[in-house]
Structure 1
Amino acid sequence: MNLFTIEEQHLICIFDTFTRAHLLTDMRICLPYIENNELKSIMLDVIKKIEMIDDGIFDVLPLDFANYYNKEME
Structure 2
Amino acid sequence: MNNPFTVEETNLICIFQSDSRTKVIKDIHKAVGHIDDDDLVELSVRVVKKLENMSDEEYVGLVLEAAE
| Mapped partners of 1:21, 1:6: distance in 2 | 21
Spell out, residue by residue over 1:7-51, the C-alpha distance to the aligned partner (whole angstroms, 9 max, x if none). Answer: 111111110322101101110111111110000000000000000
Determine the structure 2 residue equivalent to 1:41: 42
Normalization by structure 1: what TM-score? 0.79
Percent identity over the alignment is 33
Specify every segment of 5 or more residues in structure 2 that has no aligned partner in the other structure, as ranges. none
Higher relative contact order (CA 8 A, sep 6+): 2
Instruction: State the 4+ residue runs in structure 1 displaced beyond 4 angstroms.
Output: none
Normalization by structure 2: what TM-score? 0.85
Specify every segment of 5 or more residues in structure 1 that has no aligned partner in the other structure, as ranges. 70-74
Q: Provide the aligned length of Structure 1 versus Structure 2.
A: 66
The reply to whether residue 27 of structure 1 matches residue 9 of structure 2 is no
Which one has the bigger helix percentage?
1
